[in-house]
Each structure stands twice: as structure tokens, then as C-alpha cells.
């Protein structure tokens, strides 16, 4: 692909000679020493590694019993309502299921909107290694090469995670992470295969979605320069529950947007959720032939998806969204968005209320087992129903792509992506609006 075989255009100029990048790169004393950290505009709380609230505790749903006698619709609804109340299920159970599923579809976006340049610096479609980028040094997370603050500083403490119940009036931003966890693996310390910000802005009735490449080279608080996807692992190694918090701090620290909550999801949850809603309908613009699609057991398989209108189950939808061969990265991003929108349309389509009601226990169990979040169940419902009312044209998406990144080789020989600090601010404004840092 021509785009991935050549050095990106419009590379930024080297920093001015008066700007000492080396000093910024290796001096982390302001992060590690509590006394000096207090005077830094990125100052952290006294206990920045405190684990987030526990996973949402949902009441166990009871199976909907089959009727033992023929009843009229009104009598049946009354009996069903009485049984749900007796079993502890919410009175408006159908809407609870829809709300949860909609939130799940938002979460699905974090996984199926796979970072579009994930493999850009590793290899291209014919397996050859790409040429290294220009000789640069990673710059400060605070200043660009011109010495200006990147994207504007956050108001207040830039490492403090403000986890509070959403009031429905102010911006609320969630960090969605797809964990690279396979069925045979156990534990909690997994790298984030996908990292995406979803920000809801009631003032403009809009949603901004930004995908962050996992190889983006940023400063992880208290750990120095790292790939952004390492933050979750580093935090989790400090103690269970520390991963989500450090990941939120890292994104908030480097991109200047307040992160209020997190959600993590694995591949199997995505597949199960799409299957639970009956699959998705997508018009495939170009046939996909992938001879080395990665499987869950670390092998490969051949994926062949013809062009035209198709109905996908969960597994095929994930393959359609994640396949990285026979197309460029921009096309892959478009396919990932196709799946997200198709799933949302499916949920909102006529007749899905009754279908979801019948599938409530299965969907509920799937969400509970495959999703980890600091959101309460009430918050999930509130956010999901609000998201359902946002017009599609008010959903703005973006990717930290080659226009905003520069290939770089670390001292140990690793290929990473250094943010172009002079351009990231404009991307944030385009996706989230001018007041994203407030």
C-alpha cells in the first residue's frame, strides 16, 4: 500500500536549538518525588495508584418462565410484571436490557474500531519492514518542539481522576479498552489491544470518539517513556485494579482531556454481544481476502468475505473489522465504524425490544462476565439511553493517524510512534470540540 510504504509527508521540523529535548526526556524527578510533584501543573494525588471502584455489581437476573396456560396479552403482561418484581428484576426490564446493550455496543466500538495504524511501523501487507522515520527524539508530554503547551493544560490536577456520577449536564469521558486476552489466559495484567476515548457532550448533543494507536510512545506517570498500551499492565502489576487507573491517568496526562471512567472488554464479549442481537447487516464495499488472520489460539486462518450486502454473526463481524490485509489502514478504520453503526442500528430497529426482553438473561450474563467498569448499573443505563438519542451526524470520530505521528526507533530497537505535538491539539478540537480540556 502506497500509504504505508513511504515516509509520511509533512514531517515536523526539529525542535529549536534552545529546546533541550534530552533533558525533558530523561528527567522524571518531578514525577517520582512527591515534594516536587506538588508544584507541577501535572501534579498527582497523594495516592495516584489507588485502585478504582470495584466492578459494577449487577443483581442476578431470573430466567423468564414459560407460560403454563394460554393468556391474553394484557394478562400476560401483568403476570410478567409481577414475576419480575418478585424476582428482583427492574420494573422496566426491557429498557434496562436495551440500555445495557447500547452501552455494550459503545464498548464494542472500543474493540472493533481497531487502531488503524496498529501495524503501520511493524510491517506492511506484503510482510516487509517499513523504513524508519526521521531522526527525532521524543518530546516532553507538556511542550511541543516550539515550546508551547500542547492542546492546552487541563483545568486543575492533571493526574487526578475525577470519578463522579454523571449529572447529565457536563461532558463525560470514558476510556474504552479492548484487552488482548485469549480464552486460555488467566490473570488481570493484559496489554490493551485497543484504546479509545468516547466523550459525551450534552451541551452540543454530540459524541466524540478517538482511537489511540497502541504503539504511541508517551510518558506513563511514574514509569517514564512507554508504549501507551503498557500503562494498563504496569498499573496492574502494582496491584489488582491499578491498571485501569494508570491507563486513565496516562491518557489524561498526555492528551489533555479529563477522563471520568473506564470500561474494559475482551474479544469473546464482542462476539457474544453481536450474536445476542442477531448479528449485523453491512454492505461490504470491497471483497476481503486475508490469508493470515490471527486466531484466538495464536495461529492463523484464511478469511474470505465477498462484496455486497452481508449479514454477519459476531465472529465474522469481528473478522471484517480486524482484518489488516488486502486493504489500507484507512479502509480498515471505515470497516470498523461500519460494524459499530450497524450494531447500533440493529438495537434501535423495530421489534428489538421484544427480542431483547426474551434474551435478557443471556445478554445480562454476557455483559457481566466480559466487561469490567467503574460505572454503576444506573450510570450504564443513563449513559446508554442518552447515547441512543444522539443523531448519527453528531457522532464525530477520529484516529491519531500518520498525520499526527512520527515513526521512531527506541534505544532498544523497538518501533514506536511519537506524537506530533504541534498537531494533536487540532485533532482533539475536531473530535471533541474547543472546550475538551475544561
The full DSSP string for 6-17 is SPPSSPPPPPPT
Q: What is the pLDDT of residues 165-178, one digit of tens each?
A: 777 889 999 998 87
Same domain, yes or no: 109 and 167:
no
Q: What is the pLDDT of residues 96-130, one digit of tens each?
A: 444 444 444 444 443 333 222 222 222 333 333 33
Same domain, yes or no: 254 and 139:
yes
The string of DSSP codes covering 355-383 is HHHHTHHHHHHHHHHHEEES--HHHHHHH
Residue 316 counted as domain residue: yes
Higher pLDDT, residue 18 or 406:
406
Contact 203, 394 (CB under 8 A): no
Same domain, yes or no: 321 and 369:
yes
What is the domain-level CATH number for residue 301?
3.40.630.190
Residue carrying C-alpha cell 527524539: 137
Higher pLDDT, residue 85 or 195:
195
> Out of 354-363, 389-398, 412-421, which region has the weakest mean confidence (pLDDT)?
354-363
What is residue 326's predicted lDDT score, i.e. its pLDDT? 63
Residue 55 counted as domain residue: no
Higher pLDDT, residue 432 or 137:
432
DSSP 8-state assignment for residue 307: S
Same domain, yes or no: 261 and 272:
no
Query: What is d(CA 111, CA 269) in angstroms, rounded to the nearest whole number?
Result: 10
Same domain, yes or no: 338 and 427:
no
Residue 31 counted as domain residue: yes
Residue 5 counted as domain residue: no
Residue 189 counted as domain residue: yes
Same domain, yes or no: 27 and 169:
yes
282-285 contacts: CB < 8 A, separation 24 or more? 282/309, 282/310, 282/312, 282/317, 282/320, 282/338, 282/339, 282/342, 283/308, 283/309, 283/310, 284/308, 284/309, 284/310, 284/320
CA dihedral 402, 405, 409, 410 (to 10 degrees): -150
C-alpha cell at position 161? 481522576
Q: What is the pLDDT of residues 31-82, one digit of tens each?
A: 333 333 333 323 333 333 333 433 333 333 333 333 344 445 555 555 655 5
Same domain, yes or no: 309 and 381:
yes
Contact 48, 242 (CB under 8 A): no
* Total number of domains in the chain: 2
What backbone phi and psi angles, to 5 degrees, belong to 334? -65, -40
Q: In the predicted model, is pLDDT for residue 269 greater than 80?
A: no
Nearest-5° Cα angle at 29, 26 to 32: 120
Whole-structure pTM over 0.75, yes or no? no
What backbone phi and psi angles, to 5 degrees, belong to 271? -60, -45
Q: Measuring CA to CA, how many Å separate 430 from each of 189, 306, 372, 388, 396? A: 33, 34, 29, 22, 8
**Mean pLDDT along residues 382-404:** 83
Closest CA to 318 of 121, 108, 138: 108
CA dihedral 327, 333, 337, 339 (to 10 degrees): 40
Average pLDDT along the chain: 66
Percent of the chain with pLDDT over 70: 52
CA 259, 189, 401, 335 torsion: positive or negative? negative
Query: What is d(CA 353, CA 238) in angstroms, rounded to the nearest whole number?
Result: 43
What is the domain-level CATH number for residue 250?
3.30.420.590
Same domain, yes or no: 305 and 329:
yes
Same domain, yes or no: 254 and 331:
no
Residue 73 counted as domain residue: no
Residue 257 counted as domain residue: yes
Q: Domain range holding 416?
A: 19-37+135-265+392-432
What is residue 268's predicted lDDT score, i.e. its pLDDT? 76
Same domain, yes or no: 148 and 245:
yes
Band of residue 357 on the pLDDT scale cut at 50, 70, 90: low
What is residue 95's predicted lDDT score, i.e. its pLDDT? 45
Q: In the predicted model, is pLDDT for residue 12 greater than 70?
A: no
Residue 324 counted as domain residue: yes
The string of DSSP codes covering 228-275 is TTHHHHHHHHHSTTHHHHHHHHHHHHHH-----EEEEE-HHHHHHHHH
Same domain, yes or no: 398 and 364:
no
Contact 346, 352 (CB under 8 A): yes
Same domain, yes or no: 221 and 289:
no
DSSP 8-state assignment for residue 125: T
Amino acid at each position: 500500500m502506497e500509504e504505508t510504504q513511504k515516509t509520511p509527508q509533512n514531517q515536523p521540523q526539529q525542535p529549536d536549538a534552545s529546546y533541550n529535548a534530552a533533558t525533558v526526556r530523561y528527567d522524571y524527578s518531578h514525577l517520582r518525588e512527591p515534594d516536587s510533584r506538588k508544584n507541577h501543573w501535572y501534579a498527582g494525588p497523594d495516592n495516584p495508584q489507588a485502585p478504582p471502584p470495584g466492578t459494577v455489581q449487577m443483581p442476578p437476573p431470573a430466567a423468564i418462565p414459560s407460560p403454563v396456560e394460554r393468556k391474553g396479552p394484557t394478562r400476560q403482561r401483568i403476570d410478567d410484571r409481577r414475576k419480575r418484581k418478585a424476582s428482583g428484576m427492574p420494573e422496566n426490564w426491557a429498557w434496562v436490557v436495551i440500555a445495557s446493550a447500547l452501552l455494550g455496543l459503545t464498548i464494542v466500538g472500543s474493540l472493533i474500531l481497531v487502531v488503524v495504524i496498529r501495524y503501520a511501523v511493524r510491517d506492511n501487507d506484503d510482510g516487509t519492514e517499513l523504513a524508519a522515520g526521521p531522526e527525532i527524539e521524543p518530546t516532553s508530554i507538556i511542550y511541543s518542539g516550539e515550546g508551547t503547551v500542547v492542546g492546552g493544560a487541563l483545568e486543575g490536577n492533571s493526574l487526578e481522576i475525577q470519578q463522579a456520577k454523571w449529572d447529565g449536564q457536563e461532558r463525560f469521558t470514558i476510556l474504552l479498552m479492548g484487552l488482548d486476552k485469549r480464552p486460555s489466559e488467566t490473570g488481570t495484567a493484559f496489554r490493551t489491544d485497543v484504546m479509545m476515548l468516547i466523550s459525551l457532550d450534552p451541551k452540543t448533543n454530540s459524541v466524540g470518539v478517538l482511537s489511540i494507536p497502541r504503539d504511541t510512545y508517551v510518558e506513563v506517570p511514574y514509569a517514564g517513556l512507554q508504549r501507551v498500551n503498557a500503562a494498563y499492565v504496569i498499573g496492574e502489576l502494582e496491584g489488582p485494579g491499578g491498571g485501569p487507573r494508570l491507563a486513565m491517568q496516562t491518557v489524561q496526562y498526555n492528551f489533555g482531556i479529563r477522563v471520568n471512567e473506564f470500561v474494559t472488554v475482551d474479544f469473546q464479549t464482542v462476539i457474544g454481544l453481536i450474536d445476542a442481537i442477531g448479528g449485523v447487516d453491512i454492505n461490504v464495499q470491497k471483497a476481503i481476502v486475508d490469508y493470515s488472520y490471527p486466531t484466538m489460539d495464536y495461529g492463523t486462518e484464511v478469511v474470505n468475505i465477498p462484496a455486497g450486502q452481508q449479514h454477519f454473526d459476531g465472529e465474522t463481524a469481528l473478522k471484517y473489522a480486524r482484518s489488516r490485509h488486502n486493504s489500507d489502514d484507512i479502509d480498515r478504520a471505515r470497516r470498523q465504524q461500519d460494524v459499530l453503526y450497524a450494531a447500533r442500528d440493529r438495537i434501535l430497529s423495530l421489534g428489538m425490544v421484544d427480542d431483547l426482553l426474551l434474551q435478557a438473561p443471556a445478554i445480562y450474563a454476557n455483559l457481566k462476565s466480559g466487561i469490567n467498569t467503574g460505572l454503576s448499573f444506573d450510570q450504564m443505563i443513563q449513559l446508554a439511553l442518552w447515547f441512543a438519542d444522539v443523531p448519527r451526524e453528531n457522532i464525530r470520530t477520529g484516529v491519531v493517524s500518520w498525520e499526527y505521528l512520527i515513526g521512531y526507533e527506541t534505544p532498544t530497537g523497538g518501533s514506536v510512534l511519537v506524537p506530533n505535538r504541534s498537531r494533536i491539539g487540532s485533532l482533539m478540537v475536531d473530535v471533541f470540540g474547543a472546550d475538551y480540556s475544561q
